[in-house]
Structure 1
Amino acid sequence: LTKRFPNNFKNGFDLTLYPERLTEPLKWRTPSRIFVNSMSDLFHEKVPLDFIQNVFKVIQATPHHIYQILTKRPERLVELSPHLEFHKNIWLGVSVENQSYVSRIDLLRQVPANVRFLSCEPLLGSLNLDLTNIDWVIVGGESGQKHRPMKIEWAEEIRDQCQKAEVAFFFKQIGGRTSKAGGKLLDGKIWDEMPEAWKEHQNTWGKSPSKLLVKKDSLGLTA
């Protein structure tokens, strides 16, 4: 990644804060879904609490945007949650690539987010999920030259669990050497369900772009 995106990783994988970028979403007038720090983790143990609080202040100041925050460190998310204000436009998720990480879901449930979601991407094994108080599940296979193949039945199992629990299910791709190599059909259908909060947001702020806005280093962080 550091070779492919040298401008985004000037310090390699060392934690780098860019406080001057925090105000960028204030300039975006069109309501959008924003993936916060798509190449890093806001709840990295070295990210200062005051920096995270400043991120949340920007989110509060831009209620017309939806912010998707994904973490692999839900322990720190829970630890800091008493010091953070969780506004309606914050969607919080955890990565659950295989059964070893299912415990992250229990920690996510402890956080008072308007939307809680799971990112099962890359999906690396069969999952048995407790979807209590979970609003959205995203599933996708790995892509790249050294990708680890995803079995279709793993994705189908999660879809069936979502349908039983009445949880929105979004299937991104089967995966392969490229993200588009295997397509995105599951049982001959595109699964692009969204949580109910998305409809409510659109009713308030109007239609947002259908595609997720991924802003590299958005809200000022690489790690």
Structure 2
Amino acid sequence: MTQQTKIEWTDFTVNFWEGCQKVGPGCDHCYAEARNQRFHGDNWGPGKPRRYVKGGIAKLHKINRGAEKFHEENGHWPRVFCSSLSDIFDNAVDKVWRMEAFSALEQATDTRPQLLTKRVGNVFQMIPPSWAMHWPAHVGLMITVVNQAEADRDIPKLLDIKARLGIPWVGLSMEPLLGPVDLAQPYAGPLHCAVHCKDHCTAHGDEECPKFFDGIDWVIVGGESGHQARPTNPQWFRNLRDQCDAAGTPFLFKQWGEWVSVSEVEGPGRHHRFDDGRTVRRTGKKLAGRLLDGREWNGVPT
């Protein structure tokens, strides 16, 4: 079996190419861009070429071949985060590369691929025709949401895509969390629907649309790491945890990042005080850890 990753919510990472372009505030201090620059790459930004990863598909096949043994040892099929250094729905990627990746993903039936994108609006146009007719039952889809504005804009699109394509599970990667997010509120009513999901809508007439939580199967949250990391208010994490608990949605707290609540970890470090009085201390990612209110939160979708 190939080397596993240290990312808390997955078992392996696979990249079919490397490179991307910033599309939102969560991208401001992108770890993958910094890594690319550290190794003297030039694959980030408008017009920059993406770098094909020759061993990406072979790695996925290798994980699939060892999946049964992994299942015996770990009690679940190997979760594979696809495109940790890119976005599989990136407009700038060669279509041939993307079709090769989709073909490999479809064949890797003993893995549990996790497709994560910041471009949910591209999904329907970029998947193969066969996926539009029958989305592979072993593949899940996640989107990045870092604030309420992104939640309002992109979650309805995700839920529409889930309904239209029959995706088995969808989730939110809320890292770095840059503001409070209410997932319990309804999105725009059917008469003002921006995603044209009326064929799949469970509301009628002027009734309010379903809440964001209706259809979301997993929520991952975390703070920002790196030299320029922005602090996250501990209450934003707690509110999402409590919302997930009330909705029965699996919740995974990935990390504090560079800043941690002063009530969680003691030690030296620069302080940041939020308007509500809650205070975080910059201790560094390793010391900050991933305990929230004294425990780990490791929920995953079944």
**Alpha-carbon offset, residue 49 of structure 1:** 4.1
The one of 177, 189, 206 aligned to 2:295: 189
**Aligned position for 1:75:** 121
**Alpha-carbon offset, residue 168 of structure 1:** 0.4
- Answering whether residue 262 of structure 2 is matched by residue 170 of structure 1, we say no
**Aligned position for 1:100:** 149
Listed as ranges, the matches of 1:57-72 within 5 Å are 57-72=103-118
CA separation in 1, counterparts of 2:114 and 2:255? 19
Q: TM-score, normalised by structure 2?
A: 0.60
CA separation in 2, counterparts of 1:18 and 1:3? 16
Secondary structure, counterpart of 2:251 in structure 1: strand
- Answering whether residue 236 of structure 2 is matched by residue 151 of structure 1, we say no
- Answering whether residue 37 of structure 2 is matched by residue 37 of structure 1, we say no
**Aligned position for 1:128:** 182
**Alpha-carbon offset, residue 185 of structure 1:** 0.9
**Alpha-carbon offset, residue 189 of structure 1:** 1.3
Do the aligned partners of residues 146 and 167 (structure 1) sit closer, same or farther apart at CA in structure 2, a change above 3 Å counting? same
Contact 1:78 1:110 in 2 (8 A): no
**Aligned position for 1:88:** 137
Identity of aligned residues (%): 34
Aligned length: 193
Do the aligned partners of residues 57 and 160 (structure 1) sit closer, same or farther apart at CA in structure 2, a change above 3 Å counting? same
**Alpha-carbon offset, residue 84 of structure 1:** 4.9
Deviation larger for 18-27 or 33-42: 18-27
Secondary structure, counterpart of 1:189 in structure 2: coil
The one of 22, 42, 56 aligned to 2:102: 56
Give 4+ residue runs of structure 1 displaced > 6 Å after superposition.
none
Amino acid at match of 2:171: F
CA separation in 2, counterparts of 1:19 and 1:40? 11
**Aligned position for 1:18:** 52
Contact 2:99 2:128 in 1 (8 A): no
Deviation larger for 31-40 or 125-134: 31-40
Do the aligned partners of residues 186 and 17 (structure 1) sit closer, same or farther apart at CA in structure 2, a change above 3 Å counting? same
Higher relative contact order (CA 8 A, sep 6+): 1
Q: TM-score, normalised by structure 1?
A: 0.79
Secondary structure, counterpart of 2:140 in structure 1: strand
Contact 1:123 1:140 in 2 (8 A): yes
**Aligned position for 1:199:** none
Gapped runs of 5+ residues in structure 2? 1-33, 68-77, 184-211, 259-282
Gapped runs of 5+ residues in structure 1? 197-223
Contact 1:56 1:84 in 2 (8 A): no
CA separation in 2, counterparts of 1:19 and 1:39? 11
**What RMSD over aligned residues (CA atoms) do the two structures have, in Å?**
1.9
CA separation in 2, counterparts of 1:182 and 1:83? 45
Which deviations, in whole Å up to 9, do the C-alpha atoms of 1:124-167 show, x marking residues without a partner?
A: 10001121111100000001121100111001111111111111
Secondary structure, counterpart of 2:66 in structure 1: coil
